[in-house]
């Protein structure tokens, strides 16, 4: 009887789960229809060139807009064969909805192209700003109207007074979206975004996980957890690098590599032997901690990133608009542009971004994007790229975890360090502005982890570790050239602990690194020469295009300055590391009259993005903690072993960088190796964590305050800025941040965790 009752309960639970899943699917995936507030052309008035369908001939609908969404839509435009067309369009009167939807095309962000609602009673204009200029594509855009406008009788007005390039606009009849449908649409966008993020992240890890499982099954003694994490990451990255060259030579070859890699990887995971099944479970358990940390942090970042816009709307330039009023360089989109050119078999010259060349940036992130490109994950290429490249930048968490593990750091301290760094504004921003500098930093930290594992165990380097270390270095150089500024650390470690290495191992490692670099060097010299602009810029101060070789340009730059000028340049590089005013950059001065002062938060974000001192951020309190511990008797053991070495390594790298860079004032973070910022932050946090717990808690509270006020909640008031608050993204981001906070601050369960 009891068993039967238990079976009934189980069956009821399964049925309820099925019904809930079906209801959720219906709620999310049934068509979301907007209500047309006007139909046809009745009541519309127009002057000049405004007429139905009068748009540039190449204008088309965004691929994400389905056929049923266009039902009842009337399209107007001001294009009469050239950009000098002008005119004015006025709609019939309609009742302003809570959420207004329009299809908009072309360059409405220009000053002489205006789009607004005009109240019928007092003729007050309510601007309809855009986050981006759609160009020759019909985009579906929505605005949440304020309380003073909702329910009022209004007209939609479009004015074209522009005569220059892009001097026309297109607009549809106004439509209303109910709050319920808005909620459904936001939930649908959020769920699809999360699904695609997780899918691309899993695809990147899959080949490495399959390889690590095979090694775990065959290798005795068992592989250390940090090596398994490193293997999982560098295998995926290496296949990405190979994918770049496969697609470069042949699109068919590239697609074959993609499907072969994933078919074999899935086969290893899905059809394992008994021994391999156990190895898969063991590998998953050993790498779960850092992978979960990176996954949760990445999803948290993405949630807060899209807090004020639908993820499918803003385009790839949103990373600049989201945080800064100033227009930033397009470094974050260069890998996507490069991947598109290679995948579509388009010429790489001219490339993009003014006079920059495809050979000016290494291709690792481009290759990883190409590896997943043939898979039908989602049709929105720009969103795919944003999500995948953000996941790649979050690998810095895996790098920090491996480094701390290799130093013998207790689990509690690892949680406290990673949790604190996750809420760093600098790391938050650079995980979303996706130039591959944090990807390069992760590879550098992996290499340091291998070396510190040897130093701590005081044993010679094995051939297996030689291979891992060399691949890590090769990948870091192919991710971003700024990683070279971290190389002095490895020279010092090699000299200090040279007994742990043999000349044969060093020679083999150098051959592997050359194997990574040589094909790219050939590309720079023979496919898209010269590829040396960054060398001339950083080491010779030569910004414009220059026909000289790198060596000639750098030599001439030094010969054209006196010794006193050069000394002054180097000193300015060193002093720039000190950065901006400290206390003005972390939210304490960002309020006026109880409201957030957006101009002040803008200055705070610029300082934290731009200067080394401010990028390290509140971890700088570790200097005071270190001074206090230095004077304390008896001396206290630091919370993180060997943290003095980390500090020394970072400082040597920064001094080397300041001296080798031409200057003046060249030592902004954009030109640095981000691994040095992470090393310095970890070393300083070691001093803070050695003090009583209350000091860490107070500093962590300030870190959260800065993260929320300066970075997450404060958006700059750009001209192109329709803002629809994304409630599902907010809930998910807060929940994930709360999870990170709980995980960081909870006490350890064992003495080993707490010591």
**What's the whole-number mean pLDDT along residues 199-221?**
92
Rounded CA separation 662/566 (Å) = 8
Q: At a CB cut-off of 8 Å and minimum separation 6, what does 231 contact? A: 208, 211, 212, 215, 223, 468
Q: Looking at the structure, do residues 289 and 422 belong to the same domain, yes or no?
A: yes
Q: Average the pLDDT over 362-388 and give the result.
A: 91
Is 741 within a domain?
no
> In degrees to the nearest 10, what's the CA dihedral of 660, 665, 670, 675?
50
What confidence tens digit (pLDDT) does each residue in 127-142 have? Answer: 887 755 667 888 888 8
Q: Range with the lowest mean pLDDT among 19-23, 54-58, 524-528?
A: 19-23
pLDDT digits (tens, 9 = 90+) for 587-631: 666 666 556 666 678 888 888 998 999 999 999 999 999 998 888
Is residue 746 situated within a structural domain? no
Tell me which of 177, 206, 240 is where a domain ends.
177
Look at residues 157, 177, 197 and tell me which one is the last residue of a structural domain. Answer: 177
Q: What is the mean pLDDT of residues 635-639?
A: 84
Rounded Cα distance between 683 and 647, Å, is: 5
Better pLDDT: 586 or 122: 122
Where a domain ends, among 177, 197, 222? Answer: 177
pLDDT at 542: 86
Residue pair 702/618 in contact (Cβ under 8 Å)? The answer is yes
Establish if 19 belongs to a structural domain.
Answer: no
Alpha carbon distance 339, 357 (integer Å): 14
CATH number at residue 73: 2.60.120.260
Question: Does one domain contain both 578 and 634?
Answer: yes
**Cα 466 from Cα 461, distance rounded (Å):** 7
Q: Is 379 helix (H, G, I), strand (E, B) or coil?
A: coil
* Range in 25-34, 126-135, 658-667, 742-751 the model is least confident about: 25-34
The pLDDT assigned to 108 comes to 67
State what percent of residues in the chain have pLDDT above 70: 91
Position 719 pLDDT exceeds 50: no
Q: List pLDDT tens digits, range 410-429.
A: 999 999 999 999 999 999 99
The full 3-state SS of 609-659, as one line of letters, equals: HHCHHHHHHHHHHHHHHHHHHHHCCCCCCCCCCCHHHHHHHHHHHHHHHHH
Q: Over 60: is that where the pLDDT of 753 sits?
A: no
**Domain identity same for 586 and 641:** yes
CB-based burial label for 364 (10 Å; 0-12, 13-18, 19+): buried
Given a cut of 60, whether residue 110 has pLDDT beyond it is yes
Tell how strand 99-106 and strand 175-176 pair up: antiparallel
Q: Would residue 26 count as lying in a domain?
A: no
Residue 451 sits at φ, ψ, to 5 deg, of: -65, -40
Q: Is 90 exceeded by the pLDDT of residue 325?
A: no
What is the pLDDT of the chain when averaged over all its residues?
87
**In degrees rounded to 5, what are phi and psi of residue 99?**
-125, 120
Q: Check residue 720 and give its pLDDT.
A: 43
Give the DSSP H/E element, type plus range, for residue 136. strand 135-144
Q: Provide the pLDDT for residue 714.
A: 78
Query: What is the per-residue pLDDT for 475?
Result: 97
Average pLDDT over residues 540-568: 88
pTM value surpassing 0.85: yes
Q: Is residue 3 part of a domain?
A: no
- The residue that leads in pLDDT, 441 or 183, is 441
In a domain, 664, yes or no: yes
Closest by CA to 545, choosing from 350, 368, 335, 385, is 350
DSSP 224: P
Tell me: pLDDT of 245 over 90: yes
Instruction: Indicate the pLDDT class of residue 280, thresholds 50, 70 and 90.
Output: very high
Residue 29 has pLDDT above 70, yes or no: no
Statement to judge: residues 161 and 190 lie in one domain:
no
Residue 327 has pLDDT above 80, yes or no: no
As a whole-number percent, the residues of the chain with pLDDT over 90 amount to 50
Whole domain around residue 207: which residue ranges? 186-546
Do 374 and 480 belong together in one domain? yes
* Shared domain check, 357 and 227: yes
pLDDT for 133 equals 62
Residues 397 and 311 in one domain: yes
H helices of 172-221, in order, are: 179-218
Q: What is the pLDDT of residue 580?
A: 66
Q: How many CB atoms lie within 10 A of CB 691?
A: 19
pLDDT band of residue 721 (cuts 50, 70, 90) is very low
Q: What is the total count of domains within the chain?
A: 3
Residues 356 and 410 both lie in one domain = yes
Least confident of 173-187, 232-246, 442-456, 558-572: 173-187
Residues 251 and 134 in one domain: no
**298/437 same-domain check:** yes
pLDDT tens readout for residues 670-698: 889 999 999 999 999 999 999 999 999 99
**What mean pLDDT do residues 320-337 have?**
85
Does residue 564 lie in a domain region?
no
Check whether residue 172 and residue 214 sit in a common domain: no
The verdict on 223 and 172 lying in the same domain is no
SS3 label, residue 708: helix
Identify which has the larger pLDDT, 546 or 686: 686
- CA-nearest of 105, 108, 106 to 128 is 108
Question: What is the pLDDT, as a whole number, of residue 750?
Answer: 54
Examine residue 96 and state whether it is found in any structural domain, yes or no: yes
Q: What pLDDT, on a 0 to 100 scale, did the predictor assign at position 432? A: 95
């Amino acid at each position: 009887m009891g068993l039967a009752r238990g079976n009934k309960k189980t069956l009821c639970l399964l049925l309820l789960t099925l019904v809930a899943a079906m209801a959720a699917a219906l709620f999310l995936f049934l068509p979301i229809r907007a209500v047309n507030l006007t139909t046809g052309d009745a009541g519309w008035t127009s002057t000049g060139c405004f007429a139905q369908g009068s748009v540039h001939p190449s204008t088309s609908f965004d691929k994400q807009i389905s056929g049923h969404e266009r039902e009842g839509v009337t399209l107007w435009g001001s294009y009469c064969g050239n950009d000098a067309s002008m005119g004015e369009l006025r709609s019939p009167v309609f009742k302003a909805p809570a959420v207004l939807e329009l299809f908009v095309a072309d360059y409405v962000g220009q000053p002489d192209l205006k789009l607004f609602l005009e109240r019928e009673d007092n003729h007050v204009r309510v601007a309809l700003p855009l986050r981006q200029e759609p160009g020759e594509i019909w985009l579906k855009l929505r605005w949440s109207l304020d309380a003073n406008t909702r329910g009022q009788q209004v007209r939609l007005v479009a004015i074209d007074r522009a005569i220059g390039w892009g001097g026309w606009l297109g607009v549809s009849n106004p439509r209303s979206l109910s709050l319920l449908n808005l909620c459904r649409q936001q939930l649908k966008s959020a769920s699809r975004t999360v699904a695609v993020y997780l899918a691309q992240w899993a695809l990147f890890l899959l080949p490495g996980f399959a390889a690590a499982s095979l090694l775990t099954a065959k290798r005795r003694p068992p592989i250390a957890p940090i090596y398994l994490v490193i293997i999982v990451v560098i295998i995926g990255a290496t296949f990405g690098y190979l994918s770049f060259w496969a697609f470069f030579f042949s699109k068919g070859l590239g697609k074959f590599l993609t499907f072969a890699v994933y078919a074999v990887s899935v086969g290893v995971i899905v059809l394992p032997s008994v021994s391999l099944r156990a190895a898969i479970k063991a590998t998953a358990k050993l790498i779960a901690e850092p992978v979960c940390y990176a996954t949760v942090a990445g999803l948290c970042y993405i949630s807060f990133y899209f807090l004020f816009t639908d993820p499918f709307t803003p385009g790839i330039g949103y990373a600049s608009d989201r945080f800064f009023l100033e227009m930033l360089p397009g470094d974050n989109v260069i890998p996507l542009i490069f991947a598109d050119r290679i995948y579509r078999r388009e010429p790489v010259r001219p490339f993009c971004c003014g006079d920059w060349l495809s050979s000016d940036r290494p291709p690792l992130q481009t290759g990883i994007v190409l590896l997943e490109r043939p898979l039908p994950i989602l049709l929105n290429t720009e969103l795919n790229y944003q999500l995948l490249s953000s996941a790649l930048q979050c690998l810095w968490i895996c790098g920090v975890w491996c480094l701390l593990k290799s130093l013998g750091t207790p689990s509690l301290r690892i949680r406290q360090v990673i949790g604190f760094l996750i809420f760093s504004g600098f790391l938050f921003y650079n995980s979303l502005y996706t130039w591959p500098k944090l990807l390069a930093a992760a590879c550098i930290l992996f290499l340091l982890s291998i070396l510190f594992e040897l130093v701590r165990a005081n044993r010679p380097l094995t051939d297996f570790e030689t291979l891992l270390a060399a691949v890590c270095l090769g990948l870091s150089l192919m991710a971003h050239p700024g990683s070279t500024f971290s190389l002095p650390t490895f020279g010092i470690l090699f000299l200090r602990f040279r007994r742990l290495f043999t000349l044969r191992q060093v020679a083999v490692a150098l051959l592997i690194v050359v194997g990574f670099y040589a094909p790219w060097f050939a590309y720079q010299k023979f496919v898209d020469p010269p590829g040396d602009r960054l060398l001339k810029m950083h080491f010779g101060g030569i910004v414009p295009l220059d026909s000289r070789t790198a060596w000639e340009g750098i030599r001439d730059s030094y010969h054209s300055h006196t010794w006193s000028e050069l000394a002054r340049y180097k000193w300015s590089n060193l002093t720039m590391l000190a950065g901006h005013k400290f206390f003005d950059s972390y939210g304490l001065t960002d309020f006026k009259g109880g409201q957030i002062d957006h101009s002040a938060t803008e200055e705070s974000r610029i300082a934290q993005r731009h200067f080394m001192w401010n990028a390290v951020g509140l971890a700088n309190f570790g200097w005071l903690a270190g001074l206090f511990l230095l004077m304390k008797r008896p001396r206290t053991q630091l919370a993180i072993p060997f943290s003095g070495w980390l500090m020394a390594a970072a400082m040597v790298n920064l001094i080397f960088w300041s001296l080798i860079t031409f200057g003046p004032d060249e030592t902004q973070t954009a030109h640095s190796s981000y691994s040095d910022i992470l090393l310095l932050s970890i070393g300083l946090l070691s001093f803070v964590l050695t003090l009583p717990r209350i000091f860490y808690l107070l500093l962590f509270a300030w870190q959260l305050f800065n993260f929320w006020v300066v970075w997450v909640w404060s958006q700059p008031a750009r001209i192109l800025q329709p803002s629809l608050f994304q409630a599902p993204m907010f809930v998910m981001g807060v929940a994930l941040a709360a999870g990170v906070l709980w995980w960081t601050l909870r006490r350890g369960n064992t003495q080993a965790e707490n010591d």
